Every structure is written in structure tokens, then in C-alpha cells.
Amino acid sequence: MKNELTAINVDILIVGAGPAGLAAAIAAKKAGIDSLIVLEREENAGGILRQCIHNGFGLHRFKEELTGPEYAQRDIDTAGEMGIDVRTGVTVLSVTNDKVVTAISKKYGLQIFKAKAVVLAMGCRERPRGALGIPGTRCAGIYSAGTAQKFVNLEGYMPGRRVVILGSGDIGLIMARRMTLQGAKVLACVELMPFSSGLNRNIVQCLHDYNIPLYLSHTVTDIHGKDRVTGVTVSKVDENRRPIPGTEIEFECDTLLLSVGLIPENELTVGAGVDICPATSGAVVDDSLQTSVPGIFACGNVLHVHDLVDFVSGESFKAGQAAADYVRGREHAGRAIPVRDGAGVRGAVPQQIRLEKGAQHANVDIMFRPDRVYQNPYVVVTADGKPIFSQKKMIMAPGEMANITLTEKQLAACEDAQAIEVSISLEKPAM
């Protein structure tokens, strides 16, 4: 029997039903798009939030503290009430630059969709051990923090009893507390950089409150054990992040958790021929979240790794709205002006702002991370070198994404610029 593979037409196809995909879908539906499908490979919508059973979600968006699953449920319910077609258990295999999307599932088999617009919302994945090249044995007991979180929170099993955590990313910090509360002994959290990559509140609430030592400027230099981890060697590193001989500390443990960063999951994006930004490992987008391929949009952790889901939702509403506009033929017009990372700034998003001369400009949010910790700095935006925006901050750290908003007036001052640059300065700029 030969299966006929005919394409299914759809206005907007959204890949991923995490908070990003759901928010994009809700916004597009609100904008009047009915031909809308969300594809999610897991059996349940909600994305990574499903396993984040701690609270601390939704403070900005809902003004209350929710757990991850509670936050996700609100969007799932809204999508349900609005009659949005969210299909779970469906994995998207490829997206082409003319917006043909191939997917497979147990329920529907292989399906091909022809979409007018596509929103990429695939989230991110954790960086594995291999990417670090830590030598040693390859025995059981080495997990990414998110995998451990899945075992503990979704399956009800403990992956270990005595734990060392490499990296101070938020998931690692949350798991330090979680495993301690479950009866494990967390011996140390080891961070290569001289500062943590997690949120300050997590350092306090997950490490300090449980007397778990944080070793900054240290790394794991060896892993021991034949079948299962029996210990790790931790060494101090110099300014160039190279281990200093003679500083080795041995920890007896059965588990090493890795929380060494998240990488946007961009295989589909690359396959669609979308330009990727080296600083974020996500797509290059303009202020409407449109990528370099017209009609393909990206939002959430697949675009750049966020700390707070509230901002994911905010960004994704915009992407859904923009996709709806695109389908209606109301493309975000204007000349694209590049937004560049200046001194102290990493991964500013959007990488382009489109401005139509003389038109009304909606506010544009720019998000980025500082390259290190700054006390009392100024965030400065220049248009062709001329400052058009400056804002004083109390403290900035790489673990917390920074967010600034350019207003109509400031944007008007950029209309003729060749480039916009965001930088961090310790001095107040002359405006």
C-alpha cells in the first residue's frame, strides 16, 4: 500500500506547546486567525514548566506566585476555551523555507502541512557533558539537572544520594534544594566563572538556606567510578578558566548533576534556512519576532534562553500577533536597522528593528545579558554613535536577563540610522 502524502493547508502552524507556543497561539486566535494548529511532541502541553513544580512563576504576568504546572495550566485552559487545535504527541521533523512542515505521530502518522506562517517555539535543551569535554569515566550517575528533575518530579525516583552539581544554572540550583529536601546530600555546587549563572534569589533560597557551599572559579576536572560514579575531582581555575594544579579537592559522591547552560533547540530553524545569531544560538529576528525567512517567526527559549517565563509569554504574544498580521498581508514593514551588542552586552534581541520613516512606532523591548557583574551601571543605546537612550541600573549580572524599552520618540530618533548599539557603561552618557 502506498500512502498518499497530500499537504494540509493551514494559516498558522506553531511548533511547540510550551508557554511560548501557547501564548503565540492565543494571540493569533485573538487576532482572528481560526486556521491554526499547534504541534507538540510530548503527550501533554506545557513544555518544560510541567517538571518545574517549585513556585516562582507568574509574578510579573499574573501578579501571583504559581508553580510551573499551574502557570502552564492557565494557558492550556485558555487555549482550550478558545477552541485552539493543540495536537500533542506530534513531532515536527522538518520545516522548509517555503513553510512546508513535516510531522509524525502515533495518532496521525506522517503529515505534511503547508502553512502561510510558522511560529517556532521549540524551547531549549541542556548542554551535555560532552560539550564540556570533562575527562574521566563514562559510568552511570552523570545527569543533566533537567533529566534529574524529570526523574524526581515526573517519575518519582531519586537518581542519587550524594550529589555534586557542576554549574550554577537555575535548574541545578533548584535541584540542589529539591534533592536535599528528598533526603540526598548535596556536597557542593561548582561554578567555572567567578559569578553564578543563576538568579540571585535561587542562590539564596536553594544553596545558602541549606548550607550548600558554592565554589566559584572552580570546575570538575576528573570523574571516578567504573559502573557508577564514586567521586569527582574539583579544581580551582585561573583567569583563563584553566585548572590550577595543586588545588584539587576530592568529593565522594554517586551523582554529578550538570547545570552548565541551555542551548536553544534550533535544528528545525537551521533546516528552514533561517539565519542564526552566534551570540544567542537562536534565530536573528526583527522587532516583530520575524526571522530572516518571511513568515517564519520565533519566540521563547528557542529564540534566546530566558530566566522568567513571564517574559517568554510576553514575547510570544507579540510573535503570535505578528504572524496573524503576516497572514492578513499586513507585514511589518520598514527598513531593518541592525541592533548590535556594544561593550558589556551579549545577545541583544531583537537583532533588527524595522522603522518606516514618519510612521507611528510601537514601543520596542530589547533583551540581553551583561557579560559580567556590574554595580550601578548605565544601559546606553546609541544610533550611529549618538546616545538616544540611557537608564541607570542598580546591579546587573549575567544570570539575570536585562530588559529595556525604547519608546516612540527614541525610535523616531533612529529612523535614519545605519545601526543601533546597546552597551553598558559605568559613566553617565552625555545625552
Ligand X SMILES: Cc1cc2nc3c(=O)[nH]c(=O)nc-3n(C[C@H](O)[C@H](O)[C@H](O)COP(=O)(O)OP(=O)(O)OC[C@H]3O[C@@H](n4cnc5c(N)ncnc54)[C@H](O)[C@@H]3O)c2cc1C
Residue 20 as a binder of ligand X (CB under 6 A): the answer is: yes
List phi, psi (to 5°) of 223.
Answer: -125, 130
SS3 state of residue 202: helix
CB 259 within 8 A of CB 167: yes
* Interacting span for ligand X (CB under 6 A) from 34-42, 272-280, 331-339, 384-392: 34-42
For residue 45, how many C-alpha atoms fall within 13 Å in the half-sphere facing its CB? 29
Of 40, 286, 287, 341, the one binding ligand X (CB under 6 A) is 40
Q: Which does 125 bind (CB under 5 to 8 A by kind): another protein, ligand X, none?
A: another protein
CA angle 177, 53, 151 (to 5 degrees): 75
Q: Is 135 in the site for another protein (CB under 8 A)?
A: yes
Span near ligand X by CB under 6 A; candidates 12-20, 206-214, 241-249, 278-286:
12-20
Phi-psi region of 97 (alpha: psi -120 to 50; beta: other; left: phi over 0): alpha
Residue 424 touching ligand X (CB under 6 A): no
129 interface partner picked from another protein, ligand X, none, CB below 5 to 8 A per type: another protein
Going by DSSP bridges, is the β-strand pair 255-258/249-252 parallel, antiparallel, or unpaired?
Answer: unpaired
Residue 120 DSSP code? E
Per CB under 8 A, the list member of 228, 241, 330, 386 interacting with another protein is 228
Does 41 bind another protein (CB under 8 A)? Our answer is: yes
Torsions phi, psi for 368 (to 5 deg)? -165, 175
**Would you say 334 or 350 has its CB closer to ligand X?**
350
13 three-state secondary structure: strand
Q: How far apart are CA 400 and CA 165, in angstroms?
A: 20
Report the 10 Å Cβ neighbour count for 276. 16
329 binds another protein (CB under 8 A): no
For residue 121, state whether it binds ligand X (rule: CB under 6 A): yes
Backbone angles phi, psi at 310, to 5 degrees: -55, -40
> What single letter denotes the amino acid at residue 170?
D
User: How many residues of this chain interact with another protein, rule: CB under 8 A?
Assistant: 57
Q: By rule CB under 6 A, what count of residues binds ligand X?
A: 37
Q: Where does this chain touch another protein (CB under 8 A) — which range of 15-23, 139-147, 212-220, 346-354?
A: 139-147
According to DSSP, the β-strands at 420-425 and 378-383 are antiparallel
The only residue of 47, 136, 198, 347 in contact with another protein, by rule CB under 8 A: 136
Query: Which of these segments, 64-72, 146-154, 338-346, 409-417, binds another protein (CB under 8 A)?
Result: 146-154
Bridging pattern class, strands 374-375 and 395-396: antiparallel
Residue of 217, 221, 288, 410 interacting with another protein (CB under 8 A): 221
CA distances from 366 to 138, 203, 217, 301, 403 (A): 42, 26, 30, 15, 6
Q: Which of residues 308-337 bind ligand X (CB under 6 A)?
A: 308-310, 312
| Residue 150, contacted partner among ligand X, another protein, none, CB below 5-8 A by kind | another protein
Residue 2's binding partner among another protein, ligand X, none (Cβ under 5 to 8 angstroms by kind) is another protein
| Window contacting another protein (CB under 8 A); options: 6-14, 87-95, 307-315, 339-347 | 87-95
152 binds another protein (CB under 8 A): yes
Q: How many beta carbons lie within 10 A of that of residue 20, not counting itself? A: 33
Helix (H) or strand (E) holding 348: strand 345-349
Residues in the chain: 431
**Residues binding another protein (CB under 8 A):** 1-3, 5, 41, 89, 91, 93, 102, 104-110, 112, 125-126, 128-131, 133, 135-141, 143-144, 146-147, 150-152, 154-161, 182-184, 221-223, 226-228, 254, 270
**Residues binding ligand X (CB under 6 A):** 15-21, 39-42, 47-49, 52, 56-57, 91-92, 121-123, 146, 149, 170-171, 174, 265, 268, 300-302, 306, 308-310, 312
